[in-house]
Amino acid sequence: VAARRLTGRRERRETGRFLAEGAPAVREALAAGAVVELFATADAQQRYPELTADAAQISPRDAAALSETVTPQGLIAVCRRESTSLDDVLAAGPRLLVVLVEPNDPGNVGTVIRTADAVGADGVVLAGGADPYNGKAVRASAGSLFHLPVVDAGGPESSGAPVAGASLLDRLASAGLRTLATTATGRQDLDELIDTGSLAEPTAWLFGSESHGLPPDVLATAADTVAIGMRGRAESFNLAVAAAICLYATARAQRAASTG
Amino acid sequence: VAARRLTGRRERRETGRFLAEGAPAVREALAAGAVVELFATADAQQRYPELTADAAQISPRDAAALSETVTPQGLIAVCRRESTSLDDVLAAGPRLLVVLVEPNDPGNVGTVIRTADAVGADGVVLAGGADPYNGKAVRASAGSLFHLPVVDAGGPESSGAPVAGASLLDRLASAGLRTLATTATGRQDLDELIDTGSLAEPTAWLFGSESHGLPPDVLATAADTVAIGMRGRAESFNLAVAAAICLYATARAQRAASTG
């Protein structure tokens, strides 16, 4: 019953716990030592004996009640949230961060976390918006939520004091990161930044919400604004796609600079 | 009632029609001349007078029944599928195509269509898997479904004769396209292909399903296999993210070659 309440955001925040569902996510959660309690159906215990040694058995019906998916896999872990602060991440001397300002879609948040992990970024910072510990976000992150620091930097819905865009940007800049804010009307074109090799600098990429983009104060305060040039007739890239294009190009430029 | 049946894949195939929901999608459908019938609630007619001049008014309840979203927008168009064939697309001398082989997730299919449009690719080819005319796919494509050719090249679930991987690859190769099959164990690394400038050639990128990747016959027959190097601890990129990284790099290389 307590676990079922973790499908709600408030309960997740208050308890510092969340649910990870399915074998891939549970495997990463166990490897990260983040599992507080593990539930498995008899079926799941048979299918994943290596994961379920310490699992409490539950009925398929209880598994379905805990699940946020249409086809529950019968394997659900209650996990501890890592409480990484922005200070911790900045103190480690990051070279590549991604900052999402009030993203709407938890699936996009999870996909950005997965992409940040895959390119070797140093962390993901969330300033308000969708909860990275939401079931959809956890699923979309495909285990990466347990691999790299994910920082809740505040925002209207956060438990902490709201962090104004400018203050967040100041802290990133003070840590030696060039803050690049993405917008369709950016002063710089991503292509040119790639050509000039300037992406090799320590960089924090900022992305706004799917519907409204970045707030004006963030655009005004960032070191630069960047557009990803559109060539066809689409109006914009999907948020997770835009982040992937920027992160891949930046990680590549940073590797090239460090080896060559 | 007839419109409501279009939430099913079989009905969509048999009638050659599908549903587009919400103002952005309906706007693109109208611009493309693809709308057969338009339904709007009184609310939606007030909010979007420029779109709903020819709309039949429906009740919010009927709108909800037609909708596949949690928060229906009260604006739904029955659209005609463009029947573009692979021959049509190949005859136009494409320089950049993306081929999805049995993708599972309609959201990913729609996002790939949106990305292909945004980078100026010449078309998206689907070989089996999720339906690009599914409600989630249409929504994720954000109107791009009406902007560039989307070809149903067969597959187990298609109405046409199944197109074996090899035969599809032969047709792409005969049209002068280098077929690049993505896989974690690819012989080439995407970074190196970018460095050597070889992506400027006319290219067809092939991506497999989220869970199983490309089938062995496709990997064996493609001109080359390509890995997108992973740097962190993630096992793979999301399908739509992988496609975005490859498509952006290729479109960029092709532009550089044509201008320089």
Please answer whether residues B146 and B31 qualify as being in contact, where contact means their C-beta atoms are separated by less than 8 angstroms.
Answer: yes
Contact A251 B231 (CB under 8 A): yes
Q: In the 8-state DSSP scheme, what is residue B235?
A: S
Give contacts of A248 with chain B, Cβ < 8 Å: 228, 245
Rounded Cα–Cα distance for residues B172 and B96 (Å): 11
pLDDT at A4: 83
Dihedral, CA of residue A238, residue A241, residue A247 and residue A251, to nearest 10: -170
Q: What are phi and psi of A124, to 5 degrees?
A: -125, 130
Q: Which two tokens stand for residue A89?
A: 């991440």
Q: Which two tokens stand for residue B125?
A: 């080819």
pLDDT at B67: 82
The radius of gyration of chain B's CA atoms, rounded to the nearest angstrom, is 19
pLDDT at B190: 97
Closest-CA distance, B29 to chain A, in angstroms, reads: 13
Q: Which residue of B has its CA nearest to A116?
A: B232
Percent of chain A past pLDDT 70, that is, above it, reads 94
- Buried-exposed string A9-25: b where 16+ CB fall within 10 A, e elsewhere: eeebbeeebbbbbbbeb
Residue B107, chain A, CB below 8 Å: the answer is yes
Closest-CA distance, B237 to chain A, in angstroms, reads: 6
Give contacts of B120 with chain A, Cβ < 8 Å: 231-232
Q: Which residue of B has its CA nearest to A232?
A: B120
Closest-CA distance, A161 to chain B, in angstroms, reads: 31
pLDDT at B233: 92
Q: What are phi and psi of B123, to 5 degrees?
A: 165, 165
Measuring CA to CA, which residue among B112, B41, B126 is closest to residue A234? B112
Give contacts of B227 with chain A, Cβ < 8 Å: none
Give contacts of A244 with chain B, Cβ < 8 Å: 237, 241, 244-245
Contact B115 A240 (CB under 8 A): no
B56-57 and B35-40 beta bridge pairing: parallel
Tracing tokens 């080359």 back to the chain, one arrives at: B224
Nearest to A120 among B119, B232, B240 (CB): B232
What ipTM score was computed for the predicted complex, to two decimals?
0.93
pLDDT at B260: 60
Kindly indicate the confidence band of residue A189, based on its pLDDT and cuts at 50, 70 and 90.
very high
Rounded Cα–Cα distance for residues B53 and B38 (Å): 9
pLDDT at A68: 76
Kindly indicate the confidence band of residue A3, based on its pLDDT and cuts at 50, 70 and 90.
confident
Provide the strand spans (E) within A62-173. 75-80, 96-101, 123-127, 150-152
Structure confidence by residue, pLDDT tens digits, A129-162: 999 999 999 999 999 999 999 998 875 444 444 4
pLDDT at A168 over 50: yes
pLDDT at A64 over 70: yes
For B259, other C-beta atoms within 10 Å of its C-beta total 6
Residue B230, chain A, CB below 8 Å: the answer is yes
pLDDT at B15: 92
Q: Which two tokens stand for residue B61?
A: 């309840």
pLDDT at A174 over 50: yes
For A196, other C-beta atoms within 10 Å of its C-beta total 11
Nearest to B245 among A116, A228, A248 (CB): A248
Give contacts of A245 with chain B, Cβ < 8 Å: 244-245, 248
Name every residue whose Cβ is closer than 8 Å to that of residue B166 and which is 6 or more positions away in sequence. Answer: B217, B218, B221
pLDDT at B5: 83
Portion 130-169 of B in contact with A at CB < 8 A: 140, 142-144, 147-148
Give contacts of A191 with chain B, Cβ < 8 Å: 252
Give contacts of B115 with chain A, Cβ < 8 Å: 234, 237-238, 241
The arithmetic mean of pLDDT across residues A179-205, rounded, is 96
Contact A117 B233 (CB under 8 A): yes
Kindly indicate the confidence band of residue A43, based on its pLDDT and cuts at 50, 70 and 90.
very high
pLDDT at B153: 85
Contact A252 B191 (CB under 8 A): yes
Nearest to B120 among A115, A232, A245 (CB): A232
Confidence (pTM):
0.94
Containing A13, the helix (H) or strand (E) segment is helix A9-15
Structure confidence by residue, pLDDT tens digits, A12-23: 989 999 999 988
**Chain centroid, CA B113 distance in Å:** 3
Residue A50, chain B, CB below 8 Å: the answer is no
pLDDT at B24: 87
Containing A88, the helix (H) or strand (E) segment is helix A86-91
Name every residue whose Cβ is closer than 8 Å to that of residue B162 and which is 6 or more positions away in sequence. Answer: B154, B155, B156
Q: Which two tokens stand for residue A215?
A: 């707030």
Farthest CA pair distance, chain A? 59
pLDDT at A33: 95
Nearest to B237 among A118, A233, A238 (CB): A118
Portion 173-212 of A in contact with B at CB < 8 A: 191, 194
Contact B120 A194 (CB under 8 A): no
- pLDDT tens digits for chain B (260 residues)? 678 888 889 999 899 999 999 888 999 999 999 999 999 999 999 999 999 999 999 999 988 888 877 677 899 999 999 888 999 999 999 999 999 999 999 999 999 999 999 999 999 999 999 999 999 999 999 999 999 999 988 754 444 444 556 689 999 999 999 999 999 999 999 999 999 999 999 999 999 999 999 999 999 999 999 999 999 899 999 999 999 999 999 999 999 998 76
Give me the count of residues in chain B: 260
Rounded Cα–Cα distance for residues B87 and A81 (Å): 53
